[in-house]
Structure 1
Amino acid sequence: MRNNEKGFTLIEMMIVMLVISVLLIITIPNVAKHNTNINNKGCDAYVKMVQAQVEAYEMDKNKVPTIAELKSEGYIKEDAKGCPNGKIVEIDSEGTVTAKVTTP
């Protein structure tokens, strides 16, 4: 007489593993592809935030700041690393903030 045990068979487990594997094969490349787009949008947002802080500094001090002055005066965090895509944020003499590619 056979016990009435409930559980998954080896075939059922292999089918579940196959479905999970297919889902991973589909999703991982899509996530990696969108990573660059996400970093670029993060950089754009960071540039806009720094631009707003430059304008606030100009209203308070009546001069165009440098990145170091913004950090030392508390307008942006001291540990702010810049753009997530590796670009460097610069402020020109007119107070316009841009993100530029680093050159080695």
Structure 2
Amino acid sequence: MKSVKKGFTLIELLVVVAIIAILAAIAIPQFAKYRENAAKASAVADAKNIATAIESYYADTQSFPSSISDGSIVPLGTQTFSLSKNNSFKGYYYNNPSYTFVVSNTAFNRSVTFNSATGGVDVNVW
């Protein structure tokens, strides 16, 4: 009597590997896109939160800050605002009565600009 060998043939294994490779080729770029969109949303949210803190500072002191130091922690008077992971604050420019600043994301080397004169975040910069 013949003995029956159990297992997969080389062709079957190659087909499975090819299917997994095709699925990975589709999924990996989409995952990278989702990560970048999340980083953009984080930078926009941080920019809006900093603008709210600047407006709160104005409500308390009746003046905008003349300068704010760059970094991942933004000091505003007695308040301190911490940015999300990989985001940093830089380039605050005050031009009475408006102000501009940039929130950049170091993971993607991209940034969003907030301009109070034009009404907020310019998301097209990302």
Instruction: Give 1:35-74 correspondences, 5 Å limit.
Output: 37-65=37-65, 66-68=67-69, 70-71=74-75, 73-74=78-79
Work out the number of aligned pairs and report it.
Answer: 94
**Larger fraction in helix:** 1
Unaligned runs of 5+ in 2: 103-112, 114-126
Q: In the alignment, what sits opposite 1:76? A: 81
| TM-score under structure 2 length normalisation | 0.50
Bigger RCO of structures 1 and 2 (CA < 8 A, at least 6 apart): 1
**Which one has the bigger strand percentage?**
2
Separation in 1 of the partners of 2:25 and 2:52? 42
Offset of residue 32 of structure 1: 4.5
The one-letter code of the counterpart of 1:76 is F
- TM-score when scaled to structure 1? 0.57
Identical columns (%): 23
Q: Secondary structure at the match of 1:67?
A: coil
Residue range with higher mean Cα deviation, 88-97 or 10-19: 88-97
SS in 2 for 1:75: strand
Offset at residue 17 of structure 1 (A) = 0.9
Residues 51-86 of structure 1 show CA distances to partners (whole Å, capped at 9, x for unaligned) of: 011112222333212323x42633312898426xxx
In structure 2, give the amino acid aligned to 1:63.
S
Q: CA RMSD in A?
A: 3.5
